Amino acid sequence: MANREALRELQARLASRLQAARSEGMSVAWLAVRAGGNNYLFPLGQSGEIVPVSHLQPVPYALDWFRGVLNIRGGLFGVVDLAAFVTACGAAKRLEPAVAEPSVVTMNAALEVNCALQVDVLAGLRGPDAFTASKPPEADAPPFFGNQFVDSAGEHWQEINLRTLSLSPQFLSISA
C-alpha cells in the first residue's frame, strides 16, 4: 500500500514538473523512463499524461505487446508494452522482467493517437545538459529511434520519436 502511495506521489510530482517545464519554457527536453531494463527518452512535446495501470482490459487476438485498453479520464487508450514492442522490432532485448505496478505515458493529443506506452520506471525529466555524449541511431535501428545519449554516470539512453512511432505500420497493426 505504501509503495502505491509513493508511486502516486512520484507521478504527481513528475506531472507538476512536466507542466511547469512546458509553461515556463525550461530547458527540459525529455521524459526519462525505463522499460525492460533499458533507458528511453520521450520528447516532452510528444508526451502526454502519466497514469498508473489499473483496470486494464485485455483485447483478444492481439499481439502480445499490445496489453489492452485503459480508461483514462473517460477516453479509451490502447496500451503498448514498450519493452515488448521494442523487443519484437528486434531493436533491443528485454534485460529485466516487467515490474508489478507499471505506469503508462500517453502520447500527446496532438499526435491524434489514443495510445499509452507501458513503462516500468519513471526516471524524471532530462535536459540536454544531463548528457555528456550523443550519437545518431544505428543504421539498422527502427525509424522511430532518435539519437542515443550517454549521461554522466555512463548510462545509455535511447530517444524515441513518438510521432514517428505512432505512424509506424508495425505499431498500428496489433492483430495476431
What pLDDT score was predicted for residue 92? 77
Alpha helices per DSSP H over the chain:
2-24, 82-88, 162-167, 169-172
Q: Judge residue 142's burial from the number of C-beta atoms within 10 Å of its C-beta, 0-12 exposed, 13-18 middle, 19 or more buried.
A: buried
Banded model confidence at residue 65, pLDDT cuts 50, 70, 90: very high
Give pLDDT tens digits for 66-120: 999 999 999 999 999 999 999 998 877 777 777 778 999 999 999 999 999 999 9
**Segment 38-49 mean pLDDT:** 95
Q: One-letter amino acid identity for 162?
A: L
What pLDDT score was predicted for residue 25? 52
Strands 121-126 and 75-81: unpaired
Give pLDDT tens digits for 13-38: 666 666 665 555 556 799 999 999 99
Convert 66-96 to b/e letters by CB count within 10 Å (16 or more is b): bbbbbebeeeebbbbbbbbbbbebebbeeee
CB 47 within 8 A of CB 60: no
* E strand spans, the chain: 30-35, 38-43, 47-52, 66-72, 75-81, 103-107, 115-119, 121-126, 131-135, 145-151, 156-160
CA distances from 56 to 5, 42, 51, 95 (A): 19, 23, 12, 24
Q: Output the nine-digit C-alpha cell for 52.
A: 498508473
Above pLDDT 70, what percent of the chain?
A: 86
Q: One-letter amino acid identity for 161?
A: N
Where is average pLDDT lowest: 46-60, 78-92, 96-110, 137-151?
Answer: 96-110
